Amino acid sequence: MSTEPATHALVVFVPAGHAEQVLQALGDAGAGRAGNYSHAAFVSRGTGRFTPLPGARPAVGTVGRPEEVDEVRIEVLYPAADRETVLRAMARAHPYEVPAFHTFPVHGRGPSFDDEGRLRED
């Protein structure tokens, strides 16, 4: 029996103008499902900063110059079994050569919640 949690989380940073296409791709790949809802996500705004190095083909900015971009942080939950599908969908929809993202298992929802995050009826 595996001790790996059934649910994982993805956090990805996306230029604000491309957020909708990434959100749609993630939801279509199975991320953001919660009970009778789909495409559920948390989105917050911020500023991304990077400097493209020689050899880079930046979607935004110029090689050798620091760049600041209006970005959003997208957070979604997804079934661990769908990890590759979700990550591939994110990468295909994302405009950057190297998307900034991280994933992690979701632990400890506790016995009061079912596998989809709904409060159990007592």
pLDDT score at 107: 82
pLDDT score at 105: 94
111 Cα distance to chain centroid? 26
Domains and CATH numbers, the chain: 7-105 (3.30.70.120)
Task: Give every CB contact of residue 91 below 8 A, 6+ residues apart in sequence.
Answer: 99
pLDDT score at 17: 97
pLDDT score at 121: 75
| Burial category of 7 from C-beta neighbours within 10 Å (exposed 0-12, middle 13-18, buried 19 and up) | middle
Per-residue confidence in pLDDT tens, the chain, 122 aa: 456 678 999 999 999 999 999 999 999 999 999 889 999 999 999 999 999 999 999 999 999 999 999 999 999 999 999 999 999 999 999 999 999 999 999 986 666 777 667 777 76
Query: Residue 9 carries which side chain, given as an amino acid letter?
Result: A
pLDDT score at 4: 65
d(CA 82, CA 19): 21
For residue 14, give the H/E element and its range: strand 7-15
pLDDT score at 108: 65
| Burial category of 101 from C-beta neighbours within 10 Å (exposed 0-12, middle 13-18, buried 19 and up) | middle
Query: Residue 35 carries which side chain, given as an amino acid letter?
Result: G
